[in-house]
Amino acid sequence: MIHSTAGVDNRHPVLVLREAAVTYGDRAALAVPELGVQLGEILAVIGPNGAGKSTLLRVLALLERPGRGTVAFRGVPVGSEAERLALRRRMASVFQDALLCDASVVANVRLPLIFRGVGRAEADRRARPWLARLGIAHLADRSARDLSGGEAQRTSLARAFATEPEVLFLDEPFAALDPPTRETLLDDLGGILSEARTTTVFVTHDRTEALRLGDRVAVMLGGRIAQIGPPEAVFGAPVDEAVARLVGVENLLPGLVVAVRDGLVEVAVAGQTIAVAGRARVGDRALVGLRPEDILLLEPAAISGHTSAQNRFPGRVVQIAPLGPLYRVGVECGPRLTAMVTRPAVLALGLAPGAAVGVSFKATAAHLIRPGASALTGL
């Protein structure tokens, strides 16, 4: 995970969006009261298809005018089309499709510099280091039409970085790539962004990409920003059920707060009492959110031993399925829980449908979601 917060100056937002609204026909595609993009930060925007992520990016990148609202660049509202065009030359965008010209790789990377009035020799001098940085220097003279998907996207990124943009916009640039290519390119891009500290708005529907690249994460649902904040806050403490499901909190358990003591909230859930670190009042109804990877499965006898985990229950495996290098295990322990475990853990515990197992998790791993909560801070 890359969080280059040392390069973020929260006092000076580069872009500020206020009272922005975009409507397509009778559908509200975007409704954002305020959003600031800070100098040097990577803002990752996640959400399902149709949530308004790309619309938000186009508005911030001055590629689309909002039906209502303003965009300010370095404190100055953007007005005329001439101003928008001049500012777009200080930005760069990379989209899901590489959008390359029918020319060589190096010619594609030089092109935006030439459009900006840079001479061919100087444009070449600026372009070639980025070909090397993105691992495609050996492809400089190859035709863009002969590139693989990963090579084409590397060319598109080199083209963007060669212009030395003040703000970089990335609109799902890895969505069309196969997993190995995507992983390698994510690592390379993460290193570049960490070193360059380029202010970046990164749109993705993939939460792992947001976690790996984002200094802040904004969750979009229905054209609105449902939650925004540091990745650990958004992924660890989602504001509501919809956000929780989007960021991978698979265990969402409805319950009733029955006690509050010693800094812990005790919630009655399906015949068990779960201790959660948080604040609530006795009688509150709430959801207990718990990520699958935060649940530890043990030998049944181990749940009575000494451990720092406040929550320990006997259970029985009801389902097990491989999921890449991990296994998703469904356990009935009063509430039905889903855990993620490694293959060695499956073998060591003899996990199979019907097998007895212990369930353990810390109070700090669980998160309390109460009706009416809001996390729309840090905009």
Phi, psi for 227 (deg, rounded to 5) = -160, 145
CA distance 200 to 91: 10
The sign one gets for the Cα dihedral 80, 81, 84, 86 is negative
Residue (of 364, 378, 338, 376) closest to 245 by Cα position: 338
3-state secondary structure of 261: strand
pLDDT at 371: 62
* Parallel, antiparallel or unpaired: strands 285-290 and 296-298: unpaired
Structure pTM?
0.87
Q: What is the pLDDT of residue 4?
A: 40
Instruction: Determine the residue type at 46.
Output: I
Q: Which pLDDT tens digits describe the chain residue by residue (379 residues)?
A: 333 444 444 457 899 999 999 999 889 999 999 999 999 999 999 999 999 999 999 999 999 999 999 999 999 999 889 999 999 999 999 999 989 999 999 999 999 999 999 999 999 999 999 999 999 999 999 999 999 999 999 999 999 999 999 999 999 999 888 989 999 999 999 999 988 889 999 999 999 999 999 999 999 999 999 999 999 999 989 999 999 999 999 999 999 999 998 889 999 999 999 999 988 999 999 999 999 999 999 999 888 765 667 899 999 999 999 998 899 999 999 999 999 999 999 999 999 999 999 999 999 999 999 765 444 434 4
Whole-number pLDDT of residue 305: 63
Strand-strand pairing, 216-221 and 42-46: parallel
Which residue type occupies 63?
L
| pLDDT for residue 26 | 87
Q: What angle in degrees, to the nearest 10, is found between the helix axes of 149-162 and 105-115?
A: 30
Is residue 139 within 8 A of residue 146, CB to CB? The reply is: no
In this predicted structure, what is the pLDDT of residue 8? Answer: 42
Q: Check if the beta carbon of residue 89 is closer than 8 Å to that of residue 114.
A: no
Domains of the chain, with CATH numbers? 5-90+165-245 (3.40.50.300), 249-369 (2.40.50.100)
How many Å apart are CA 294 and CA 286, to the nearest integer?
20
Query: Counting beta carbons within 10 angstroms of the beta carbon of residue 185, is it exposed (0 to 12), middle (13 to 18) or buried (19 or more)?
Result: buried
- Summarize the chain as % helix, strand, coil (round to 5): 30, 35, 30
Q: Name beta bridge partners: 253.
A: 288
pLDDT of residue 307: 60
347-376 pLDDT, tens digit per residue, is: 999 999 999 999 999 999 999 997 654 444
The single-letter code of the amino acid at 352 is A
pLDDT of residue 276: 94
What pLDDT was estimated at residue 32? 96
Cα dihedral 345, 235, 206, 183 sign = negative
**Spatial separation of the C-alpha atoms in residues 121 and 251, rounded to whole Å:** 58
Q: Is 78 helix (H, G, I), strand (E, B) or coil?
A: coil
The span from the CA of 182 to the CA of 176, in Å, is 9
What pLDDT digit, counting tens, does each position of 7-45 carry? 444 457 899 999 999 999 889 999 999 999 999 999 999
Between CA 254 and CA 277 the distance in angstroms is 16
Distances (CA, A) of 166 to 45, 58, 249, 371: 19, 16, 35, 40
Separation CA 104–CA 314 (nearest Å): 63
Q: Tell me how many degrees the CA angle 352-360-210 measures, rounded to the nearest 5.
A: 90
